[in-house]
Amino acid sequence: MTAGSALAAHTWRPEFEAETVWALLRRRAELTPDALFGVDEHRRTLTFAELRAAVERGAAGLTRLGVRPGDVVSWQLPNGLDTITLSLALSRLGAVQNPLVTMLRERELTFICRQAGARWLVVPGEFRGTDHTAMAEAVAAAVPGLRVLSVAAGLPDADPASVELPPEPVGAADGTAVRWLYYTSGTTSDPKGARHTDRGLMAASDTFCANLGVTAEDQTAALLPLPHVGGIAHILTALRSGSSLVTSAVFDPVATVDLLREQRITLLGSGLPFVRAYLARQRAEPGTRLFPHVRAVLFGGSGRPAGLHEEIKSELGGVGSVSGYGLTECPYFCWGTPQDSDAAHARSEGRPGPGGEIRVVRADGSTAGTGEEGELRLRGPQLMLGYVDSTLDADAFDEHGFLRTGDLGYVDSEGVVTVTGRIKDIIIRKMENISAREVEEHLITHPAVADVAVIGLPDQETGERAVAVVVPADPAAPPTLADLTAHLGARGLSTRKFPEQLEVIGELPRNAMGKIVKRDLTSRYGGAR
Could you tell me the domains of the chain? 20-170 (3.40.50.980), 200-423 (3.40.50.12780), 430-525 (3.30.300.30)
pLDDT of 188 reads 45
Q: Which of 268, 262, 270, 220 is nearest to 241 (CA)?
A: 220
Instruction: Express each pLDDT in 372-412 by its tens digit.
Output: 999 999 999 999 999 999 999 999 999 999 999 999 999 99
CB 215 within 8 A of CB 241: yes
CA 344, CA 411: separation in Å to the nearest integer?
12
Classify residue 185 by burial, with Cβ atoms within 10 Å: 0-12, 13-18, 19+. buried
Higher-confidence residue of 54 and 103: namely 54
Instruction: Please compute the mean of the pLDDT values over residues 170-175 and round it to a whole number.
Output: 82
Cα–Cα distance for residue pair 406/350, rounded to 1 Å: 19
Q: Looking at per-residue confidence, does 420 or 220 come out higher?
A: 220
Angle between helices 198-212 and 229-241 (to 10 degrees): 70
Rounded CA gap, 199 and 20, in Å?
Answer: 7
The model's pLDDT over 405-426, given as tens digits with 9 standing for 90+, comes to: 999 999 999 999 999 888 878 8
Closest CA to 326 of 393, 457, 389, 233: 233
Integer Cα distance of 437 and 457 in angstroms: 15
Give CA–CA dist 155/86, Å, rounded: 7
Is pLDDT of 3 > 60?
A: no
What is the rounded average pLDDT of the residues 10-19? Answer: 80
User: Which band of pLDDT confidence, cut at 50, 70 and 90, is reported for residue 528?
Assistant: low
* pTM score, whole prediction: 0.86
Name 21's Cβ contacts closer than 8 Å, sequence gap at least 6.
88, 91, 179, 198, 201, 202, 236, 239
Alpha-helical (H) ranges within 213-246 are 229-241
At residue 316 the predicted structure's pLDDT band, cuts being 50, 70 and 90, is very high
* Confidence (pLDDT) at 206: 95
What is the per-residue pLDDT for 514?
A: 65
Q: 329-338, 360-369, 518-527 — which is least confidently predicted?
A: 518-527
- Helices 272-284 and 255-262: angle between axes, nearest 10 degrees: 80
The mean of the pLDDT values for the chain is 92
What does the alpha-carbon distance between residue 520 and residue 377 come to, in Å, rounded to a whole number? 27
CA–CA separation, 294 and 261 (whole Å): 10
- Asked if pLDDT for residue 430 goes beyond 80, the answer is no
Chain-centroid distance, C-alpha 518? 18
What is the enclosing helix (H) or strand (E) of 116? helix 106-116
The secondary structure of the chain in percent helix, strand, coil, rounded to multiples of 5, reads: 30, 25, 45
- Beta strand pairing status for 357-361 and 374-379? antiparallel
